[in-house]
Structures are given as C-alpha cells and as structure tokens.
Amino acid sequence: MALIVLGLSGALNHDPSAALYVDGKLVAAAEEERFVRDKHAKNRLPLEAAKFCLRQAGIAAGDVDVVAIPFAPIPITRRHRWHYARRYWYAPDRGLDALLNGNRRYRRYRNRIITLLEQLGIDARKIELDSVEHHLAHASSAYHCSGFSGKTAIMGIDGKGEYATTFFGYGEDRRIHKIKEFIDPDSLGGLYGALTEFLGFEMLDGEYKVMGMAPYGDPGRYDFSRLASFDNGELRINTHYANVVGLRRHKRDGKAYYFSDKLIDWLGPMREGDIADDPYIHYAASMQALFEKLALQMMDYYLGDIIAETGQLAFAGGGALNVKLNQKIIARNEVKQLFVQPASGDSGTAIGAAAYACERRGVQVEKMEHVYLGPAYSSREVIASCEQHPARPRWRRLANVPAETARLLVAGNPVAWFQGRMEFGPRALGGRSILGCPSSAGVADRINQQIKFRERWRPFCPSMLESVAPLMFRTDHPAPFMTFTFEVREDWKTRVPEVVHEDGSARAQALKSGLNDVYYALMEEMQRLTGNGVVLNTSLNRRGEAMVCSPADALEMFFGSDLEYLVMEDILVTKG
C-alpha cells in the first residue's frame, strides 16, 4: 500500500498551502492565495489548495493516510515558553499567557484543521494527524528535499514559529539533529521585518524590496549595531527598538507596528511613497549588512565545523530568500553545495511537514528538482476562457511557440507567458511569467511602469540555459530556483543590461533540459537570435496581487495592464 501524506500549512495565519506526497514522490503542491486571489491568504486555511492536490493525484479523500501540519505543542518543561515570558517582561499579559496557556494557538489551529478535513471529506478519526514543530518542518523541507548524501548542515532563519525563530542542526542518515534554536523575540528575521515596516513596506513582501533598495545605499553611513548582537553563542535583539509588542509598539492611523517610538526618535519618520532616497536607502543598506553579518556569525558558530567537514548546507525559513546572504554563503571556500528551499517561507512548511512525516515512517522523499507542482490548463480551456471574457480578446494558435515568442521578445515587446503547471513558491520560473529581452533597452522600465506598476528601482531577474550560467557569472554553482544572486561578468553586463542590478549582480534561474521543455526551447531560440540564451523574467501578476493561476486570472491581469501579448500554451492572445 502506498503511503499518502497530505501537508497543510497556515498555522501562522498567512501563506496557507497544501502538498501531497505519494510514496515519497511530491505529486502536487499549491498555495491557497493563487486560487482565492488574495495575496498571502491571511486568516484562511488551504481548502482550495488541498482540493487541487487530491484532484491532481486522482486520490479520494478516504485514501489519505497521514495529515501533517507544521505546528506542534511546546511543553512547559522546555525553555521556549520561559524565555519568551522573560524577554517580554514589559508585557506581562503576553508572558503569563505563554506560561499558563502556551499552546493555545496550537489547539486553535488543530481544531481548524479538523474542520478543514471535514470539508475535504477526510475523517479525522481514520487518519494520523502528525504535528511537526514549525522549524523542524522548515529544516525537513531543506534537508530531505536537497538530495544531499552524507552529513549536511541545516540552517533555518525565520520570523517565528511556535516560539522558536532560528534553527541550527544537521542531517545524517535521513535524520535531523537539532543543535540550537533561538526564541522570540530574538529573531533576526523578525528584526528585518520590523525595519521593513519602518521603511514603508508590508511584512511578508517588503523584505525583498528592502533587499532590492540596499545596493543604492551606503551601509557605512549609519551604525545599526545597537539593534542586535551575537555574543557567546546567543542572539539578542534590542527590544527597545524592534520586535516589540504591546505598549512599546509605534502606532499610527490605528495600526500598530513591530518597531517602537524609540526607533522613530533615532532614525526619523517612516518612509512613505515609492521613492528610494536619502536616508532610507542607507537604512536599507545598513539593515542588509547587519543581517548578513549576524547570520554568517551564527552559521560559523554553530555549523562551521560541519560545513568544513562536508561542504554541504541546506537552508530554509523566510531568511533563506535573502539572496544577497546566499551569495555571501556560496562565496565561502568551505561551502561546496548550498540548497535553498525554493519555497523557504511558511508556504513551504506544507512540504516540510509532509516530508518529515514520510521520513519518520521510513519512506524516503525524492530530491526536489523543480517546483512545477500546481495546476495546468489545456489549449481548449484557454480558448474557452478567451471566448467567455467580456473584452472578447483576439486569439490564434501558434505553430511554433518558442520561435514566435522569441521574435516578439527580440522586437522589444514584453510577453505574458503561461505554460504548463503553475510554480510553487514565490518565484516565477517559466510557468507564470512576464518575459522580456534582456538586451532590449528600456524593457525593464516599461514592465515596471506600465505592467507591474511597482517601484522603479526594483530589479528584474534572468532565466537562462544552464550552459550559459558559468559564462555569465563567476561561479558554476547550480541555480535552478532563483534563490541566489551572482556577480555578473563585465562583458555580460553590456550584453544583458536589463537584468543586472545596481550592484552588478543578478538573481538567476539556470534551467536544466527536461524540466520545462517549452521554456528551455524559448531560451534556445533567444540564443539563436541574440547570442545570449537569456530572458528577463518576472512573475505574472500586478503589484499587490497573487501570481496568476488560471487562464481567467491571466486575462484579467492582461486587460488590467499595458501588456500587448499573452501566450497561453499554444494560443497567442492580443487585445484586438
């Protein structure tokens, strides 16, 4: 009998998702936001995502053996709840709640999951409900999916799970061993999130914007060392400034922030609008520099010996999506292989919890080679959506999708690209993308201003043939998921200027043959036409929206922007 494990995330009231393993093979995974069209799907559970996973696998609800959730009760005998209460001494209601009712959130989440199972037709009495600690789920999503053999260092940097914020350990013989956890409010991810709010962005999304703003500033202009320190193996956040609760929070227009009035007194008012200017670009640079410094110090302290021994590191948690940190890690001589879970944030814990449940039942999960795990749509469904759309778009079949799309790109046109199964995780990797020719001057600004409607200083990323990556960058480290930035060689900066960031780097996807054939063939056509084998790639959505899932979603986005060309499967859609 096959072991069928359904992972369900959403315990922290954002980014709910579902993932389904059948005998160790990840057959489907999707985020709820894509189906309900509500970015991060806050305060929801992954009902539609779970329905999709079961439908995709052809599995009846009654066939599920295990439901794994990335949240678990933390006993009072462990230091987590005591540390939390002690560090939040200035908010005694929070501390007492942690000590006396410290698993309240877990019980609430478990009850919501049982209700969800009823909606799915799964009898909670007939399945095993496996509660996996949040950071173990992150760790499993990195280590068990990495494909690494031998001893592997594991690092997790996140905002917060139950109480833990940061994880250091190692994997060996498919088992995960914990070395150290840090506990809220001592959270490097939480500190970055608090400064993200101060810089005028929303947490969960804005961290990428801070990282994109940082290269425009001077990290030496302001000393942020007062915000956090790492001494004698302990991380400590200064809660006079950030990671604050209760009365310490800065409040404005009815909203409470994760930083204090004292931060405002020090740095001045919050940034507003879309302008990246002095002093805020320097604040972003200083925050990024502090994040990198402390993360590397912690990694060296707890994992340095293991990395020196094996050269392997698996990394997850929201902090693992900080590609500039990942660039610094790869640059270390002792790091031979770095696997960053492509869905490192909380949506990826559905995979992690399910993988952990498989492994502790003796079923080894497969290496994660790709993230094309969502729904796909046929040409017939695409045509039906076009015919039902009130704008009556024009459409025609393409005889050669890669060749005809490449010609549109080389002519300077952005093209919306909708092919095959939707990606899982925050990065568009050629399933639901907006593409451009990276040697076509001005195409990045055009996409920012007329299509994505986002800040003009935010960079775009290149997708490329795997064979091109060693030529364009100063490394041949695998980069299948856009989780790393690399320094671009001087000659390539002029060849593909539209995908080179202010600091001379690019966040790359280097695609292997056999994982996304149509996208690979498109880049082969680009190589034939331009000599580069590279496309500019950004997600198929507008600012503040979830990435497109269905043809109807794509058409809605298409007619709500200045896009002129939309390629869905072998159908070219235009506006008439």
**Residues with a known catalytic role:** 14
- 439 Cβ neighbours under 8 A, 6+ residues apart: 495, 496, 497, 498, 530, 532
Do strands 234-237 and 249-252 pair parallel, antiparallel, or not at all (unpaired)? unpaired
Residue 512: CB atoms within 10 Å: 14
Check if the beta carbon of residue 482 is closer than 8 Å to that of residue 508. Answer: yes
Residue type, 105: R
Instruction: Kindly state the tokens that stand for 464.
Output: 């490329």
- The SS3 call for residue 19 is strand
CB under 8 Å, gap of 24 or more: what pairs does 88-94 form? 88/185, 88/239, 88/245, 88/246, 90/239, 90/246, 90/247, 90/248, 91/245, 91/246, 91/247, 91/248, 93/246, 94/245, 94/246
Instruction: Kindly state the tokens that stand for 158.
Output: 């996140």
Residue 337: CB atoms within 10 Å: 16
Closest to 460 measured CA to CA, from 525, 420, 414, 491: 414
Check if the beta carbon of residue 29 is closer than 8 Å to that of residue 53. Answer: yes
Measured between alpha carbons, how far is 324 from 26 in angstroms, rounded to an integer?
Answer: 29
Which string of b and e fits 458-471 if b means at least 16 CB within 10 Å? bbbbbbbbbebbee
List, edge to edge, every strand of the sheet that includes 164-172: 175-183, 164-172, 152-157, 312-316, 337-340
Which string of b and e fits 253-274 if b means at least 16 CB within 10 Å? eeeebbbbeebbeebeebbeee
* Helical packing angle, 92-100 and 79-87, nearest 10°: 170
φ/ψ bin of 329: left (φ > 0), alpha (ψ from -120 to 50), beta (otherwise): alpha
Per the listing, tokens 């064979």 go with 467
Dump the DSSP string for 511-575. Answer: EPTTSSHHHHHHHHHHHHHHS--EEEEEESS-TTSPPP-SHHHHHHHHHTSS---EEETTEEEE-
Do strands 17-22 and 4-9 pair parallel, antiparallel, or not at all (unpaired)? antiparallel
At residue 341's C-alpha, the angle toward residues 430 and 286, to 5°, is: 95
Q: Write down the H helix ranges in 448-499.
A: 469-472, 490-495
